[in-house]
A and B are shown apart, each in its own frame.
Chain A
Amino acid sequence: MACEKVTELLPEYILGQTSAEQDAELRAHFSTCAACAQALAEFVAVSARIAQAVPQVAPPTQLKAALMARVAASGAPVTRQDVQPKRSLSRLFTFARLGLAVIIGLLAMQSVRLWREAQTVAQEADRQRAAVVDISQNPRSVALNATADGGKSSGWMKFSPDAQTGVLTVANMPALPASQAYQLWLVLPDGTRDDGGVLYTPATDGEQRLFVINAPRPFGAYNRCGFSREPVTGSPAPTGPGILRSDATDWAAYKS
């Protein structure tokens, strides 16, 4: 098909008014002619804009569940039969089917989500277990010492410099009200603090806890760590007093 003919047919093609034979010829032409493919792209953009030139109407809330139920029921790519208009079902049966589909869809989505969560948790547990065993075999550790606000608290941390998993134990941190927590910070050489992912609210003095730390970066990037007292929801950066912290020299010696 010549470019002139393609240009003439483009509007009809965009509007779905061309025959199947013409469609096949046009598609073959577009695959070999960059100029006509560009012209097609421009008209496709126009078509997409016209499609949105309608009042935006929110779909009924149950529609998503019904859709996902059909996806779950299909299990495989949908056949043409599946997307044909339904011809003989009564409206009552349609509603009943929709209701059932909604229930099945909700159950299917819930099952998929729970299964995925369980899988993720199990994989993460395995990974952490292996990392913790490996790290724990290191006889050395970085000591965490109490500040003036830290009372009798103490702790230590172990990690591999090129990994992001570490192990931390703390003991005797002063008890906190339920509205507050100790938040762990991992400190970069320039003073920037990464959230260490630990929010700990000891109910009584004298508790001991072990935490597995998943750092945002390999531990070798940091040069110390510490806890501060924060609201129980945590803070983006330290706002309360420091409680327990490591020494930069000790940390550097551990990394070497």
Chain B
Amino acid sequence: MPTDLELLAAIRLRDAEALATLYDKYGTKVFSLSVAIVGEGMAAQEATQDTFLKVWAQVEKYRHDAIPFSAWIMMIARQTAIDRLRYERRRTDNNDALEGEGVLEHRDVLAENNARWQDLRMVLDDLPTDQRVVLLLAYYRGLSQSEIAEHLKMPLGTVKTRTRAALIKLRDMLER
């Protein structure tokens, strides 16, 4: 299997097969994150396609010395799915299902990834509830800090403090 950098070099030369190989490698991760953000259905499929099309179109913007590609593509995937979610929200005026704790409830978990998923989920579960809810609403629902403050009926400063504390705690836990 070629490395990410080899695939990106081929994609710069407009090699569609390299993009197909990249999809084989990251398709499930991107689709899973899309489903977590926009739910199952066509929206998740289109968000997944759009993520890889952005990689195809914006590959020149990627700097391998700044961040790993695996992180870059997941940032694109999240932003793409969040954009889709905001669009759907505007379209339907549907602001339901903003509960942070409900964000990660999905079925159809691939059995072979269960252990890894449980492992990562446990990291999030280690956060205090108030920090976790703020982080989930920001990360998986794309809410601004003002929107979170309004939704949770708490001061903006508290939201900022909790978000920051959650990320720092995760960083420290992942470094151990």
Q: Chain A residues in contact with chain B, CB under 8 A? A: 11-12, 14-17, 37, 41-60, 63-64, 66-68, 70-72, 74, 77-79, 82-83, 85-87, 91, 94, 109, 112-113
Q: Say yes or no for B17: interface residue by CB 8 A criterion.
A: yes
Q: Say yes or no for B19: interface residue by CB 8 A criterion.
A: yes
Q: Say yes or no for B164: interface residue by CB 8 A criterion.
A: yes
- Contact mask for chain B residues 48-77; partner A; CB cutoff 8 A; 1 contact, 0 none: 111011101110000000111011001101
A56-B29 in contact (CB<8A): yes
Q: Which of B2-10, B32-40, B93-101 contacts A (4 or more CB under 8 A)?
A: B32-40
Contact of A43 among B48, B160, B167 (CB under 8 A): B167
A41-B67 in contact (CB<8A): yes
Residue in chain B with minimal CB distance to A42: B171
B23-A67 in contact (CB<8A): yes
A83-B50 in contact (CB<8A): yes
A112-B53 in contact (CB<8A): no
Asked, given contacts A52-B29, A58-B110, A83-B53, whether A44 binds B170 with beta carbons under 8 Å apart, the answer is no
Return B122 CB to nearest CB of chain A, in Å.
9
Contact of B45 among A50, A55, A63, A112 (CB under 8 A): A63
Distance of A253 Cα from B144 Cα, bound (Å): 80
Q: Which chain B residues lie closer than 8 Å to A70 at the CB level? A: 49, 53
Asked, given contacts A47-B75, A94-B42, whether A52 binds B139 with beta carbons under 8 Å apart, the answer is no
Q: Which chain B residues lie closer than 8 Å to A15 at the CB level? A: 138-139, 163
Asked, given contacts A83-B50, A112-B17, whether A51 binds B27 with beta carbons under 8 Å apart, the answer is no
Distance of A43 Cα from B71 Cα, bound (Å): 10
Q: Chain B residues in contact with chain A, CB under 8 A? A: 16-17, 19-20, 23-24, 27-29, 31-33, 35-36, 40, 42, 45-46, 48-50, 52-54, 56-58, 66-68, 70-71, 74-75, 77-80, 82-84, 87-88, 91, 104, 106-110, 113, 116-117, 120-121, 123-124, 135, 138-139, 142, 144-145, 160, 163-164, 167-168, 170-171, 174-175
Q: Which chain B residues lie closer than 8 Å to A78 at the CB level? A: 53-54, 56-57
Interface of A is mostly: helix
A67-B53 in contact (CB<8A): yes
Return B62 CB to nearest CB of chain A, in Å.
13
A51-B29 in contact (CB<8A): yes
Q: Closest 3 CB pairs between A and B?
A: A56-B113, A48-B71, A59-B31
Q: Which chain A residues lie closer than 8 Å to B113 at the CB level? A: 55-56
Distance of A54 Cα from B119 Cα, bound (Å): 10
A14-B167 in contact (CB<8A): yes
Distance of A113 Cα from B20 Cα, bound (Å): 12
B67-A44 in contact (CB<8A): yes
A49-B32 in contact (CB<8A): no
B27-A55 in contact (CB<8A): no
Distance of A86 Cα from B42 Cα, bound (Å): 11
**Residue of A53, A66, A91, A113 most packed against chain B (CB within 10 A):** A53
Distance of A71 Cα from B60 Cα, bound (Å): 17
Contact of A63 among B49, B56, B68, B124 (CB under 8 A): B49
Distance of A60 Cα from B17 Cα, bound (Å): 19
Distance of A45 Cα from B75 Cα, bound (Å): 10
A57-B42 in contact (CB<8A): no
B16-A55 in contact (CB<8A): no
B56-A77 in contact (CB<8A): yes
Contact of B117 among A17, A37, A56, A82 (CB under 8 A): A56
Q: Which chain A residues lie closer than 8 Å to B31 at the CB level? A: 57-59, 63
Q: Which chain B residues lie closer than 8 Å to A77 at the CB level? A: 56-58
B144-A17 in contact (CB<8A): yes
B74-A57 in contact (CB<8A): no
A56-B109 in contact (CB<8A): yes
